[in-house]
Chain A
């Protein structure tokens, strides 16, 4: 492969990643819409759609393996390939989180929803979507500063997550909604995990640019 074509394959790899990102975002949006509108059909679509995410993810992994085997990349090329690999993993996880949200929404569909809770979750979802968007954009632009802004957004999600727990407790006296509320605790956690994965993508931007891997935030802090 000539240098020009080698560079083209790296560019193509990155383009594949961004496409995977778009597809994962679609899944998150779909799951959150389905949650908001209690739309069971949309839930099914999101669940089925995960096959597409997985297909793209495995395809990307294969390309990474081939590039590593045939081109012997080093230095910044290698960092790019490793960063893309990590980000693909995070996006695939985001896809899985979306599926879980959709499944739970479906399971809870014939239960009474608590409207405050839906609002809280919808807000969390919007934050998470925003975070994934920012993470993907800052990776593509190699914008470390912007990537570093992600943990703060993540804090917002955490805050709402705690409110959700409070809300569910408050539902203790309203029969019917409690089971729904308990399911939603898991949904909230899924959204939180999407936010965490977005932060992880941000960390890869910093790794790519600086050559050093540093965590922005940590589960135990």
Chain B
């Protein structure tokens, strides 16, 4: 009887996590679209939508606390709960990054855009969407191999980030372009952080499957990113 309850609570918790993941994916897509089309209204939507995301996260955290208190999960069940907790925190980070991207897009919307940079950023954004999709799917399927593959995808995002930095450097003599460029640097960095968080969710998948936590990447061992 207790086992049925436990499994049911674990399933609910995981479903809440995947729901939150779907919503965060929407947020990333929204931020990318707003950036591509320079759509200020869409920016506002992404920003206000964040409140709903935060509510969901708080609800998941509460669920985690209750599952642990009521069911005292151990071994694989406990790893799953802890992985869901960590992964939810990563999703929360991603939500915050989307808000920042939207705010900056809004802030810089009155300035002229440089098509090339926008395209690089949109490309980064689309990679991030893909990475997040893969991360969520790999977790749901307990696919450690697929999760590990995220690291390689992340390299592409990091490379694009450096590319954007190089492009913006080219604008230093034009004040308006520089101001716009500065904002985009931060946007690029936000995408890069979204990629990192997707990788982190991948690490949690491997933890659930193997019982061991291994970092795919580490801040101090990465090649420097601007």
Whether chain A touches chain B in the assembled complex (some CB pair under 8 Å): yes
Residues on A lying within 8 angstroms of B by beta carbon are 47-48, 50-51, 54, 58, 61, 64-65, 68-69, 72-75, 78-79, 82, 85-86, 89, 95-96, 99-100, 103-104, 106-107, 165, 168-169, 172-173, 175, 178-179, 182-183, 185-186, 189, 213, 215, 218-220
Which of B4-12, B70-78, B139-147, B148-156 binds A? B70-78
Cβ contact within 8 Å between B218 and A50 = yes
Cβ contact within 8 Å between A182 and B69 = no
Cβ contact within 8 Å between B226 and A183 = yes
Which of B13-21, B32-40, B123-131, B169-177 binds A? B169-177
CA distance A210 to B217 in the complex (A): 37
CA distance A124 to B199 in the complex (A): 30
Cβ contact within 8 Å between B182 and A47 = no
A-B contact count (CB 8 A): 104
Cβ contact within 8 Å between B54 and A215 = yes
Residues on B lying within 8 angstroms of A by beta carbon are 47-48, 50-51, 54, 58, 61-62, 64-65, 68-69, 72-75, 78-79, 82, 85-86, 89, 96, 99-100, 103, 165, 168-169, 172-175, 178-179, 181-182, 185-186, 189, 213, 215, 218-220, 224-226
* Nearest A residue to B179, CB-CB: A169
Cβ contact within 8 Å between A182 and B169 = yes
In-complex Cβ contact of B175 among A172, A189, A218 (8 A): A172
Cβ contact within 8 Å between A65 and B220 = no
Cβ contact within 8 Å between A99 and B213 = no
In-complex Cβ contact of A68 among B68, B99, B174, B213 (8 A): B68
